[in-house]
Amino acid sequence: MGRKQPFMTAGAVLLFFGFGLLFLLLIGRFVFIQSVGEVQGKSLAEEAVQRYTKNTSLDSARGNILDRNGNVIAENTSSFKLIAVISEKASEYVEDKEMTARKLSEFIPMTEQEILARLNPERENTWQVEFGTAGSAISFSEKEEIDALELPGIDLIREQQRFYPNGVFASHLVGYSQLTQLDDGTYQSQGQLGIEKSYEEYLQGEDGTLTYESDIWGILLPEGNEEMIPPKHGSDVYLTLDKKIQTFLEDAMSTVQEEYNPKQMIAIVADPDTGAILAMSQRPTFHPQTREGINQTWHNFAIESAFEPGSTMKVFTLAAAIEEGAFHPNDKFQSGSLQIGPDRINDHNWGKGWGEITFLEGVQRSSNVAFGILARDYLGYESFRKYLDEFGFGKPTGIGLPGETTGKILYNYEVEKITTAFGQGTTLTPIQQIQAATAIANEGKMMKPYVVDRIVDGNTGEIVEETEPTVVGEPISSKTAKEVLDILETVVTAEEGTGNRYKLEGYSVAGKTGTAQIPDPGNGYLKGYDDFVYSFLGMAPKDDPKLIVYVAIQQPELDEEIYESGAVPVSMIFNPVMKNSLQYLNIKPNNLPKPKAVTVPNLEGENSENAKNKLIDLGIDVISVGTGTKVVQQVPIAGTKLLPGEKVILKLDGDTTVPDMTSWSLQDVMKFIKVSGIQLNSAGSGYVIRQSIAPGSTLSDSDILVVELEPPAVTFEKKNAPVEEDESEILDEEESEETLEAVAGT
């Protein structure tokens, strides 16, 4: 025992010094780290910040696109994005990749092999993968279906999707946006066409960030620092489009597309007082949500397509001649053809013409020869060329949309100067014609067309930009503009006018038809029966135009056997769009025929059938009450002045019968009371909806008639209100019976 003690003491000493040295080394290391703050060249402070400081992106919203009244055209809506966790370090990840790829291929537009390639990325240590646009914009119902598969590692996270609630709706003007992969691998909605693209800097928002301190498990520390940079949402762009008018236009365009299948169509509705574009559509078009049809054309024909306008050009030649005092409507010329050097200009009826006619009739018949002579002999080539510039032809309008073309004025040779006067050779865009037409419809002031009304900050609601109507020229005087409108009205109303199809009940229309040939490179022009661009440029009401509508249709499939005119499909767009839009804007009709009052004859003592026929011939609504055949009393009395459609009550001999008074006014009911001699009680105001005595019943002197009246607007609302239960109508009838009984008792 004594010999072991020295060895134990020595061991203890060695341990003591060993641990002491280790302790000194640790202390030294700690002191060193404390002083320099680095380990292996890495800053501990930075490492701590990176490890325990979390950054979360706060999504911004893309701005909405709305019509001038605030109706949404494009907006963001919630959808879901598909992701797959593939790292084996995760608590749940994609284990069976083949099975997962097979099942997902049934829900997203990717093949099983394409999905499998995504699930097996080349980069190692990948935590999760996404599926691009194919795995985006997944609806809630689709999400539920995918969730029901219970695929390990598959998750759907909420994201913003662009939504176009109106479907095909000025699609090439509005454009579309889609998710685009950025350089950092994230996806962002970006405009690809139209307003969505050209106003990207306003519509696109800027994501915010939330920075906070957390523990090792990522849980927010109660006393930790946090910093938030809020997202900046995109601005809202309000267009000049009017949803209602645009819908009128889209519906009419679709009808013509289905019936006539033209190669192309373009139509524009504009406010001549401001230059605002209220509607714009074309065919072919596309659905901005699904992109169906986008492969047919990317071009907005209204601004990117220049073509020979045909006879709508004559509007501006006429205006120039009137402004220069060179148009004399009663002067005569020989129609048919006009020789210009080696070239011959023919009227559209194969050069036959209509003999010697006045220039006014030449306008009405759309004579090419008339306008050729007008430009050459009355207006003069140099003067006419000046007006082409004054009307803005050959220059962009500056409407604010990308890709605007200018067309080309062919004016080198005499024949080109002549053909330009009636719309051949020189090319224009539809939007140039709209701009020039504003001078005709707006007392000589030519307004710059525009499609963006205002831009509103998506965060503050303040107006960022607002478009003011801009006068870009005054090529003609107010007096000239009025005279042009008066003459263009005769194109529609005159028996020989080419615009007869464009008459509107209640509204006077001033306008010009156009039939333009289509160039056939190397062979002049196409020569088929319907190888033309048919168009109409119209303004209404004529005395103070509130709308300009331009319609052009290329090569519709017309029925040659019945000599169907190209004006038929054009009028199928112009007429309903112009009339419905004017009515929608509460523009009062200005040319309805005034009804003439008629004098009620003395019919007492006459046979009932003869009396009835006399009143029908006068346009009077006849109501006979009685079982006999002889008129014994009439209301109103003979000599009374009535308007067509008003009622005359004829009391016949025999027993007095009760007519069906539904929709009668109280005044008409009183006429019946006068001839029947019974008492009346009424409830409500407006027109009769129910009566207490059934139609066809025989009256007695003690009867009391009770009628319930209701304003037409209330009746309309009831008819169009959804019925939730079958008993609703029965309840209404019971309530009405109670009302009639209550009134009868008063």
Condensed to tens digits (0 to 9), the pLDDT of residues 187-208 reads: 677 888 999 999 999 998 877 7
pLDDT in tens, 532-562: 999 999 999 999 999 999 999 999 999 988 8
* 590 in any annotated domain: no
Residue 617, pLDDT score:
86
Residues 200 and 282 in one domain: no
Radius of gyration of the chain (CA): 40
Residue with tokens 């009395």: 637
- 638 and 552 share one domain: no
CATH of the domain at 301: 3.40.710.10
pLDDT of residue 677: 86
76 and 225 together in one domain: yes
pLDDT at 207: 76
Helix axes 381-390 and 314-323, enclosed angle (nearest 10): 110
Q: What confidence category does residue 6 fall into, taking pLDDT thresholds of 50, 70 and 90?
A: low
Instruction: Let me know whether 199 and 252 are in one domain.
Output: no
How confident is residue 180, by pLDDT bands cut at 50, 70 and 90? confident
557 vs 58: CA distance, rounded Å = 54
Report percent pLDDT > 70 for the chain: 87
User: Is the separation of the CB atoms in 154 and 82 below 8 Å?
Assistant: yes
pLDDT at site 9: 75
Residue 49 falls inside a structural domain: yes
Domain boundary among 584, 612, 637: 584
Average pLDDT over residues 721-746: 46
Q: Which of 418, 422, 345, 331 is nearest to 380 (CA)?
A: 418
pLDDT at 271 over 60: yes
Lowest mean pLDDT across 31-35, 215-219, 467-471, 613-617 = 215-219
CATH of the domain at 106: 3.90.1310.10
Question: For residue 334, which of 311, 312, 352, 315 has the smallest C-alpha distance?
Answer: 352
In a domain, 1, yes or no: no
Q: Is residue 374 part of a domain?
A: yes
pLDDT at 475: 98
Do 45 and 167 belong together in one domain?
no
Torsion of Cα atoms, 38 then 40 then 43 then 44, to 10°? -70
78 and 132 co-located in one domain: yes
CB atoms within 10 A of CB 475: 24
- The pLDDT of residue 411 is above 50: yes
Q: For residues 572-578, give the mean pLDDT.
A: 97
CB atoms near residue 205 (< 10 Å)? 22
User: How many other C-beta atoms are found inside a 10 Å radius of the C-beta of residue 250?
Assistant: 22
| 581: amino acid identity, one letter | S
pLDDT band at 729 (very low <50, low <70, confident <90, very high): very low
For residues 707 and 580, state if they share a domain: no
Task: Report if residue 589 sits inside a domain.
Answer: no
727 band by pLDDT with thresholds 50, 70 and 90: very low
CATH of the domain at 633: 3.30.10.20
Decide which of 195, 217, 239 is a domain's last residue. Answer: 239
pLDDT in tens, 119-149: 888 887 888 888 887 887 788 888 889 999 8
561 with 664, same domain: the answer is no
Average pLDDT, rounded, for the chain: 87
Distance CA 190, CA 35 (A): 50
Q: Of 380, 388, 386, give the one whose Cα is nearest residue 420.
A: 388
pLDDT at 99 over 60: yes
Mean of the pLDDT values across residues 439-458? 97
**Domains held by the chain: number:** 5
Residue 469 DSSP symbol: P
Structure confidence at residue 224 as a pLDDT band (50, 70, 90)? low
pLDDT for position 562 = 80
Mean pLDDT, residues 562-576 taken together: 93
The encoded tokens of residue 373 equal 């002579």
288-315 pLDDT tens trace: 988 899 999 999 999 999 999 999 999 9
201 and 178 belong to one structural domain? yes
Tell whether 406 is covered by a domain: yes
Task: Tell the residue number behind the tokens 């409500």, with chain if given.
Answer: 684
pLDDT at 98 over 80: yes
Query: In degrees rounded to 5, what are phi and psi of residue 386?
Result: -65, -40
Task: Decide which of 437 and 599 is more confident.
Answer: 437
Q: Tell me the pLDDT band of 728, cut-offs 50, 70 and 90.
A: very low
Q: Which residues are catalytic?
A: 311
The answer, yes or no, to whether residue 41 has pLDDT greater than 70, is no
Inform me whether the pLDDT recorded for 724 exceeds 50.
no
Top pLDDT among 112 and 593 is at: 112
Indicate if the pLDDT at residue 717 is higher than 80. no
Question: Is 2 within a domain?
Answer: no
Same-domain status, 39 and 93: no
Write out the residue range of the structural domain in which residue 151 sits. Answer: 56-239
52-76: pLDDT as tens digits: 555 666 677 889 999 999 999 999 8
Give the pLDDT score at 38: 60
Residue 154 included in any domain = yes
Q: Both 492 and 514 in a single domain?
A: yes
Q: Is the pLDDT of residue 641 over 90?
A: no
Average pLDDT over residues 644-653: 88
Strands 631-635 and 226-229: unpaired
Residue 736 Cα to chain centre, angstroms: 43
Question: Which residues have CB under 8 Å from 724's CB, separation 6+?
Answer: none
Instruction: Determine which of 137-151, 251-265, 465-479 has the lowest per-residue pLDDT on average.
Output: 137-151
CA 222-223-227 angle, to 5 degrees, is 95
Q: Which two tokens stand for residue 240?
A: 């000049």
Residue 14 φ/ψ, nearest 5 degrees: -60, -45
The residue among 273, 265, 272 whose CA lies nearest residue 249 is 265
Alpha-carbon span 464 to 452, nearest angstrom: 12
Which of 530, 556, 584 is the last residue before a domain boundary?
584
The pLDDT of residue 560 is 86
> What is the phi/psi pair of residue 408, to 5°?
-145, 130
Do 166 and 265 lie in one domain? The reply is no
Predicted confidence at residue 546, as pLDDT, reads 97
